[in-house]
Amino acid sequence: MENDTMTSPKNINLLLSGVIVIIAGIVYGCYPTVIMPKLLGFEVQDLELKNMLRAVMGIYLGIGAYWLISTFKPKFWFGATLSNVLFMGGISLGRIVSTLFDGVSPLFTPALILELLFFGWGLYNLNKYKEIE
């Protein structure tokens, strides 16, 4: 029987994705009035924008936590990996559309590359490990 600890090869994708997405969520929402002007060059003053950024933080924290929990709970692995593939595929598709219509982003191109790698890695894991046996 395969080792299903968090360091099992099939779980490393979820572990790394979870940590990265949680960090990104904290960056987006923890102190948007301080972080966004420094990181992205725009002021966050509207209540609605603060709310949206903190909601994105909540989504990222929730999905990241799910992926981390799934590295310890084998019964969640398939669903977590599928959600990871959909998340990484969806966000990379959005970045590709933006690149085509808006131009290349020096800040987010490395993120796009990582998202595509996690997307492919998740597809590989789904194909290799299938559902829980």
- CA angle 96–84–64, rounded 5-degree value: 110
Cα–Cα dist 90/109, whole Å: 15
* pLDDT number for residue 31: 87
pLDDT tens profile 5-46: 667 889 999 999 999 999 999 998 888 888 889 888 889 889
Q: What angle do CA 48, 102, 13 make, to 5 degrees?
A: 75
Segment 38-52, tens digit of pLDDT: 888 889 889 999 999
Supply angle C-alpha 102, 58, 30, rounded to 5. 80
Residue 1's pLDDT is 41
| pTM beyond 0.85, yes or no | yes
- Which pLDDT score, from 0 to 100, does residue 42 have? 87
All structural domains of the chain with their residue ranges: 9-129
